[in-house]
Amino acid sequence: MRSSLMVRRVLLLLSLGIPVAAFAQIGSLKTVTVPAVPDLERYVRDRHVLLVLGKSLFWDMQVGSDGRTACATCHFHAGADHRAQNQISNPKGPFEPNHLMTLDDFPFRVFADTSNNQSPLLRDSGQRTGSAGIVRRSFLGLTGVGPEEGIDLPDAPAFRVAGRNTRQVTPRNAPSIINAALNVRNFFDGRASDVFTGRTPFGDSDPRPNALVASEGQLAPERVRLTNSSLASQAVAPPVNPVEMSYEGRTWPTIGRKLLSARPLANQNVEADDSVLGAYANPGGPGLDRSHTYFSLVQAAFQPAYWDSTQLADENGFTQAESNFSLFFGLAIQAYESTLIADDSRYDQYTEGKVDALTARERSGLAVLETRAFCPFCHSGPELTTASFTYAARKGLIDSVLTGKPGSLELRLSDSGFFHTGVRPAAEDPGLEALDDFGVPISLAARSSTQRLAIDGAFKVPSLRNVEFTGPYFQNGGQATLEQVVDFYARGGDFPDSPDLPVEIVAIPLAASDRADLVAFLKSLTDDRVRFERAPFDHPELCVPTGYPDSSPIDRWAGIPAVGRGGNPVPLQTFEELLRGVGTDGSRTHTLTDRCAIP
């Protein structure tokens, strides 16, 4: 039987004449497949080489303007980021630059009674835990395949140490890329459309012909429109973002000019048994074999009509391949990230009939999740999120949200899988309610409906899979532990008077044992291949910046060693363990204490 809370909620909906569809049972993720991309063969002729290209580009530090920032810099740890210093930003207020976070910093909003959001407020901060990206600079030019020329800009004074610009920090927490291929849209605000148009994240909002195709001896502009391609849309944003990876003013053709002649992962070790790159690895040193460049991989992966013309693309002298590099980059990254599906957790094994895969405490936690909390209304189906393709196939891309209090309830609309859950006020971050770069609402509901909406401050529901390793939590990174997350939901969120708050965000009477059991179950959702970085979660070597020691403007670097298909002998470190110093004895990996060996 469902809990009385759920029963009352269902009866309330029925009394209002609202149809109630049962939420999908969680189930094994092995029952779900990554949606195919229709018409991909128009552009791609070898999907395996496309995967090689994508994994190389994702982990390659040469992609960033400074020659030290990769996509993986913010997604190296279970697809997310668990660094603790120089990870704070606050677009709406003050914060301490280069702060070294401790457990005492969390949660960002603290009540005297952690179970009561009406109890006295002890602390509150609108700061966010993001990811350290790039130094604020204006792009001046290329220097071959190395760090680009740039000059410091004065308009980011919060990110300065000893009079010099330092790495900026993103305004949102980095979501995990693992299982992201199962989301209809990506980024926390959903701006990465499932329609990829070749150069920007915004889907059909971008009407431009973003590719050049060779036709009858001439280059012709062509509009790209590939569906089921949110990961490609997402991938093309950070490399030209002046906070994340790019000096201000760098363009995609410029990135193409820099990288096409470069040897992939030239300064980073690749294990000989890497599950994707091993056969291409340089046997005598770092990177891929010296016979490979990014252009040779593009030539092998993509149809010649998109790279083999000798005609210049524009008055700036860019080649066709350089001009089309965003197309190549987006589709290659998508091909790689689509392989990062973690579908073999102990919970998956339990649903497949291995009854002893879960402990008694974990089974009790599953019962709490399914019958005593409102978790499944947002975290449903095998993906454990309503932002998934399977949920959209069942319910559509726009869904109803019941908001308000007893006596003033109102049914509104939002995009499926996007909710305001009371993490922070919408005035601090509008989330789904924002406009994209073309002035079009990000929200599909806002584009197509005149009904009242519940999109202000709404964000995409993340999956709960591998959540043990993806802390800190929420779009603002304001909770350090799963226990804090459970407390947040048990008290009905931190801002109970938010106008767009769903009725499911309500105080839930959970005993301490219930909460502990729920946390135990959440940890059973970790796939051991993620825990130990076994294939397909193995990777090349990487170095990540970890703050500025002693108020010096010189980066401190930590090494993330390369790992082959067999993975690590010890598990990843959680964010809580990092803050507690657990694992520096060699019992954990990614402790951010390894020396960076990349020149």
pLDDT of residue 222: 97
Cα torsion through 410, 413, 416, 420, rounded to 10: -60
Q: At residue 114, what are phi and psi to the nearest 5 degrees?
A: -65, -15
Helix, strand, or coil (residue 240): helix
Tally of CB atoms within 10 A around 581: 11
Helix, strand, or coil (residue 36): coil
- Between CA 315 and CA 157 the distance in angstroms is 36
- Architecture field, domain 35-90+126-344: Orthogonal Bundle (1.10)
* Element spanning 133, H or E: strand 132-135
Tally of CB atoms within 10 A around 56: 29
What does 140-183 look like in DSSP terms, one character per residue?
A: EE--TTSPPEEEE-SS-TTSEETTEE-EEE-SSPPPP-TTGGGB
Check if the beta carbon of residue 326 is closer than 8 Å to that of residue 210.
yes
- Between CA 52 and CA 148 the distance in angstroms is 25
Tally of CB atoms within 10 A around 33: 13
Check if the beta carbon of residue 196 is closer than 8 Å to that of residue 224.
yes
Q: At residue 72, what are phi and psi to the nearest 5 degrees?
A: -70, -15
pLDDT of residue 22: 45
Per-residue pLDDT of the chain (599 residues; tens, 9 = 90+): 334 445 445 545 544 444 444 455 789 999 999 999 999 999 999 999 999 999 999 999 999 999 999 999 999 999 999 999 999 999 999 999 999 999 999 999 999 999 999 999 999 999 999 999 999 999 999 999 899 999 999 999 999 988 899 999 999 999 999 999 999 999 999 999 999 999 999 999 999 999 999 998 899 999 999 999 999 999 999 999 999 999 999 999 999 999 999 999 999 999 999 999 999 999 999 999 999 999 999 999 999 999 999 999 998 999 999 999 999 999 999 999 999 999 999 999 999 999 999 999 999 999 999 988 889 999 999 999 999 999 999 999 999 999 988 788 999 999 999 999 999 999 999 999 999 999 999 999 999 988 999 999 999 999 999 999 999 999 999 999 999 999 999 999 999 999 889 999 999 999 999 999 999 999 999 999 999 999 999 999 999 999 999 878 899 999 999 999 999 999 999 999 999 999 999 999 999 999 999 98
Q: Token digits for 454?
A: 């519940």
By 3-state DSSP, what share of the chain in percent is helix, strand and coil, each rounded to 5? 30, 15, 55
Ramachandran quadrant class, 589 (left: phi over 0; alpha: psi -120 to 50; beta: rest) = beta
What does 204-224 look like in DSSP terms, one character per residue?
A: GG--S--EEEEETTEEEEE--
Helix, strand, or coil (residue 241): coil
- Between CA 100 and CA 432 the distance in angstroms is 30
Q: Could you check whether 4-31+351-526 and 35-90+126-344 share the same CATH topology?
A: yes
Show Cβ contacts of residue 362 under 8 Å, excluding neighbours closer than 6 positions. 346, 347, 517, 520, 521, 523, 524
* Element spanning 516, H or E: helix 512-523
Check if the beta carbon of residue 230 is closer than 8 Å to that of residue 183.
yes
3-state secondary structure labels for all residues of 316-384:
CCCCHHHHCHHHHHHHHHHHHHCCCCCCCEHHHHHHCCCHHHCCHHHHHHHHHHHHCCCHHHCCCCCCC
Q: At residue 206, what are phi and psi to the nearest 5 degrees?
A: -95, 105
Check if the beta carbon of residue 444 is closer than 8 Å to that of residue 206.
no
pLDDT of residue 9: 53
Beta bridge partners of 226: 196
- Between CA 437 and CA 458 the distance in angstroms is 19
Ramachandran quadrant class, 2 (left: phi over 0; alpha: psi -120 to 50; beta: rest) = beta
pLDDT of residue 4: 46
pTM score, two decimals? 0.96
Map out the domains of the chain as residue ranges. Answer: 4-31+351-526, 35-90+126-344
pLDDT of residue 1: 32
Tally of CB atoms within 10 A around 458: 29
Q: In which residue are the tokens 């590719």 written?
A: 211
Q: In which residue are the tokens 């279970």 written?
A: 78
- Between CA 128 and CA 473 the distance in angstroms is 10
Instruction: Look at the domain 4-31+351-526 and name its fold.
Output: Cytochrome Bc1 Complex; Chain D, domain 2 (1.10.760)
- Between CA 67 and CA 160 the distance in angstroms is 20
Tell me the pairing of strands 132-135 and 167-169. antiparallel
pLDDT of residue 10: 52
User: Any idea how long the chain is?
Assistant: 599
Distance separating the N- and C-terminal Cα atoms of the chain: 61
Check if the beta carbon of residue 521 is closer than 8 Å to that of residue 368.
yes
Q: Which of 100, 241, 268 is nearest to 174 (CA)?
A: 241
Helix, strand, or coil (residue 255): helix
